[in-house]
Amino acid sequence: MSRVRNADESLLQFRKASGDYNRLFRPRVAKVRAEYAKSPVGKPPPSVDESLEAHIRVYVVNALLTALNWRLDAKPEDGLPNLIPEAPIASEEKGTTRFLDYLGFERQTNSPLLIVETKRPSSVLPQLVTPFDSSSDPEIISRGLAGEPLMGQWSEWLASLRDYVCSVHAKTRQTPRRVVLTNGKWLVLFLDPDDAFVKESPPNPNRILVFPYRSDIEQSDIELRYTELFRHLGYGIIKRNAGINTR
């Protein structure tokens, strides 16, 4: 597959992959769920349901990253692959080997450029434990990174992301240029991972972009704001902004 040249071409490719999934694979997943739901408990066994959720996540996220020129399967004429799934990293915090869902890197030097962590499609964007707070999504995430408790598993997710980024920094003496957390429907993009995860001061919410998902509209924010996403997350653009020759 040749390199995607611009945001419009990237969006068309992503829409085609998403359309193919909804037309071909989603009905199959629904059928398997329905068959297993005939069990006495009325729902698929956890192992089956997790496998189906993983199928959705991997298919959609892979399509999104490919459309942004992050490739697992690049041909020699297109350049070497620049993305590794399940990349091992020695954890600075835990002293064990952990696995990044995706690690994107510069092809020639292996400099870390991107970390992507994926969550279940049923997961939602974070909320503060404190009720009736009108903070925006980036402000909530910034406050969570500063130590304020968040609903659900978000405090744990952000702590894991911090460990991943700091562990990569400790091993390479470089901070990845971008960090992404997504379930394939919504997406959180950290434009300055050094500010968000490495520095001790509270992170700047203006350096965190959130692309929410609203079921009441036909298109997700990922599609509606795709030009913005491509500008900040396309492989060639990140590489060029890092001062690396894109040839």
Q: Model confidence at 196, in pLDDT bands (50, 70, 90)? A: very high
Q: For residue 24, what are the domain limits? A: 7-241
> Which one has a higher pLDDT value, 188 or 217?
188
- Residue 246's pLDDT is 46
Residue 38, CB-side half-sphere exposure with 13 Å CA sphere: 5
| Spatial CA neighbour of 182 closest among 68, 91, 81 | 68
Count, in order, helices (H) and strands (E) of the chain. Answer: 9, 6
Q: Model confidence at 52, in pLDDT bands (50, 70, 90)? A: low
Residue 43, CB-side half-sphere exposure with 13 Å CA sphere: 5
Answer whether residue 247 is part of any domain.
no
Least confident residue range of 29-33, 126-130, 168-172: 29-33
Answer whether residue 97 is part of any domain.
yes
Structure tokens, 193: 């991972």
Helix (H) or strand (E) holding 66: helix 46-67
Work out how many domains the chain is built from and give that number.
1
Q: pLDDT averaged over the chain?
A: 85
- Residue 120's pLDDT is 83
Across 147-164, average pLDDT = 95
> Which one has a higher pLDDT value, 217 or 67?
67
101 phi, psi to nearest 5 deg: -60, -45
Answer whether residue 93 is part of any domain.
yes
DSSP of 160-175? HHHHHHHHHHHHHS--
- Residue 17's pLDDT is 82
- Residue 247's pLDDT is 46
Answer whether residue 246 is part of any domain.
no
Q: Model confidence at 94, in pLDDT bands (50, 70, 90)? A: confident
Answer whether residue 103 is part of any domain.
yes
Residue showing tokens 């994926």: 118
pLDDT digits over 97-126, tens only?
999 999 999 878 889 999 999 988 788 999
Report the chain's C-alpha Rg in angstroms.
Answer: 18
Answer whether residue 35 is part of any domain.
yes
- Residue 1's pLDDT is 55
> Which one has a higher pLDDT value, 129 or 121?
129
Three-class SS of 225-247: CHHHHHHHHCHHHHHHHCCCCCC
- Residue 167's pLDDT is 96
Angle between helices 46-67 and 7-20 (to 10 degrees): 150
Answer whether residue 1 is part of any domain.
no
pLDDT digits over 16-42, tens only?
887 777 777 767 766 766 676 666 555
99 phi, psi to nearest 5 deg: -125, 120
Answer whether residue 132 is part of any domain.
yes
Taking the C-alpha atoms of residue 156 and residue 26, their distance in angstroms, rounded to an integer, is 30
Taking the chain, what is the end-to-end CA distance rounded to the nearest angstrom?
17
104 forms beta bridges with 83, 114
